[in-house]
Amino acid sequence: MSDSHGNTPAAWSAVVVALLGFVVGSVGLMLDPVNYTIFWVGAALVVIAGVLFGVLAKLGYHGGH
């Protein structure tokens, strides 16, 4: 494992956006009645986090490989 494993701008950005997505989705599910619009916005943020990671990694923000 490399010294920078997980400590790259690409990884941190993706984790922050995914965490935000999980929080938003959880809030949508906890509302009474359940707000599926907010839930799906949170789910979309999680997907966007994966895309963001891929884009930033291709741009060179994910270590030296």
pLDDT digits (tens, 9 = 90+) for 41-59: 999 999 999 999 999 999 9
pTM for this prediction: 0.87
Q: What is the DSSP letter of 7?
A: -
Q: Give the pLDDT band of residue 2 (cuts 50, 70, 90).
A: low
Within 1-65, strands assigned E span none
Mean pLDDT to the nearest integer, 23-50: 98
Per-domain boundaries in the chain: 9-58
pLDDT of residue 7: 86
